[in-house]
Chains A and B, each alone.
Chain A
């Protein structure tokens, strides 16, 4: 009996603690959602409350979508979507091809190139941004959406590493059987191996989607024209009280910017959790 009671109390304490922590973890998000539904003039009366005193579902969102500097928010959304989709597809495909070569084919200097991949993971991309800016300026690519895609479509060390790890866990007999059946290397990759490494591909796609979607540093440096801005740059403009004094609109569009991220998270949760657990690499 005593044991049982003690265990019960422990369980209650655990859930109590876990829920309190969970509340603090999620509070900023709930706060953002709630604030996007508060009317602008009552917003700062009860800032902390998660239930709006006066519900206003329309004004903030319509003023947010109306945009800034004559550019509608939908344009920012379209820019972000385009850059993110092209960037993600390029990034994952390039990483897949490189990871396949590095883990499945013996070739000259393969160890050296793998070392280079790992090295790019160690050097912050911010270090390269000044020379990249100068090069892009020389070839007239500054302030184009191409400039936003370029840092991504050549693959990423994180994804190459993740996929190499995954490939290493797959028995080689699979490739050898395919080879005996007359498949070339590339055919083997796409017909035999891609279905097997699908989880790694999905994980990589979602992470790369997130990173490109939320990327702020590179767009901030590469872009000048408002009509080519991505969502993070647009939100940064909404934040400037001199050009846009409307917290409601800012909060509403912040919610919109997080929607794709949250939706993907709900759908692909399992892949994200497994992917992180698998290679233990993402800080």
Chain B
């Protein structure tokens, strides 16, 4: 205790060294985050197209988004569907595969590697190119269907009803990193818990819902937050594969923001859109944090 107290006293020399070490990050934080954030908040209350001097219009940009802009509502719908379908699907699938791989089998390392590769390359343009060719017109999927005698007029990507599912599928395909995280979390569950369950003759479903799942909730909690944040950022897929189409059925929020800013040069409005996105993410994060006491199990609580 005493030594801890002693250490808590800050030496002036340490202050200097610490701020020297922090300096590069601090410069970036101020220059790339803080100042842009302030500027962006200011622009969000203005009418600004890069050429004019920004004209303050109060909350008009925010009101416009929610009352007049149908495309904004569409982009919101698309992004919410994307996040709310993709994140649970990917986590569930990752957990399922991790459970299967968490047994003693040959070649486990090979499978683990194979499943992880898509996560590594998933964000690249090359993969979006492939996805576009596989599910697009005259693509692999259509050709295969026609081999089996099923001829379709439009591809999955050309149909407004199915285009988003193809993009979601691409996200599920990248389940590998979540799987690795689950695998390492599974390995940390004390074996003694399972042993005592076995002694009691518990069924596998009971062990899963009463031991495995509760022990994984801290991992699930953390990943849920990060994946939701990441999900709301979806851009490349939407831009490269479908360009938001057909009929705006894959128009992601960030793609819409990008178009507002760099196609229409509606800078003030797009800054407002950016802050609406921050607010949405914040609400999600707060909800998950608030509900965590109901479903996240921390060992220390039970003592």
Contacts and interface: CB of A to CB of B under 8 A. Distances in A.
Contacts of A282: 177, 181, 226
A75 to B, nearest CB: 17
A180 interface: no
A100 B21 contact: yes
B215 interface: no
A244 interface: no
B126 A18 contact: no
A32 B24 contact: no
B265 to A, nearest CB: 10
A171 interface: no
Interface in B70-124: 97, 100-101, 103, 105-107, 110-118, 120-121, 123-124
A220 B238 CA distance: 14
A101 to B, nearest CB: 4
B278 to A, nearest CB: 6
Contacts of A18: 100-101, 105, 107, 111
B14 A106 contact: yes
Contacts of A201: none
Contacts of A210: 120
A213 B131 CA distance: 19
A11 B124 CA distance: 35
A107 B274 CA distance: 34
A76 to B, nearest CB: 12
Contact of B114 (A26, A155, A217): A26
A204 to B, nearest CB: 14
B146 to A, nearest CB: 11
B180 A160 contact: no
A89 to B, nearest CB: 12
Contacts of A170: none
B71 to A, nearest CB: 17
The size class of the interface chain A forms with chain B is 35 or more
Contact of B25 (A44, A127, A160): A160
A276 B177 contact: yes
A124 B17 contact: no
Interface in A1-22: 11, 14-15, 17-18, 21-22
Contact of B180 (A113, A116, A277): A277
A122 B25 contact: no
Interface string A78-117: 0000000000001001110110111001111010010011
Contacts of A277: 180-181, 183-184
A247 B136 CA distance: 13
Contacts of B178: 283
B183 A97 contact: no
B24 A98 contact: yes
Interface residues of B, number: 99
A164 to B, nearest CB: 12
Contact of B10 (A106, A250, A254): A106
Contact of A280 (B32, B107, B181, B275): B181
A273 B270 CA distance: 38
Among the interface residues B125, B181, B271, B275, which one has the most CB atoms of the partner chain A within 10 A? Answer: B125
Interface string A32-45: 10010000000010
Nearest to B269: A130
Interface string A240-277: 00000001001100110110011001000100110011
A276 B123 contact: no
A176 to B, nearest CB: 10
Given A31-B134, A126-B254, A128-B36, A239 B267 contact: no
Nearest to B8: A106
B22 A261 contact: no
Interface string B236-277: 100110000000000000100110011000010011001101
B104 to A, nearest CB: 10
Given A122-B281, A130-B40, A239-B240, A48 B33 contact: no
B212 interface: no
B133 A47 contact: yes
A107 B14 contact: yes
A154 B50 contact: no
B39 interface: yes
Given A18-B105, A105-B14, A154-B24, 14 more contacts: A21-B97, A22-B114, A47-B138, A97-B22, A101-B17, A106-B9, A108-B15, A122-B229, A131-B39, A185-B21, A236-B240, A255-B126, A280-B219, A280-B222
17 contacts: A11-B105, A18-B105, A22-B115, A26-B117, A107-B15, A113-B22, A122-B282, A123-B33, A123-B281, A124-B278, A126-B274, A130-B43, A130-B274, A135-B35, A155-B28, A160-B25, A261-B120
Interface of B: 7-11, 14-15, 17-19, 21-22, 24-29, 31-33, 35-37, 39-40, 43, 50, 97, 100-101, 103, 105-107, 110-118, 120-121, 123-127, 129-134, 138-140, 143-144, 173, 176-178, 180-181, 183-185, 219, 222-223, 226-227, 229-230, 232-233, 235-236, 239-240, 254, 257-258, 261-262, 267, 270-271, 274-275, 277-278, 281-282, 285
Report the 7 A-B pairs with minimum CB-CB distance, sorted nearest first: A154-B28, A277-B184, A107-B18, A131-B36, A254-B126, A101-B21, A98-B25
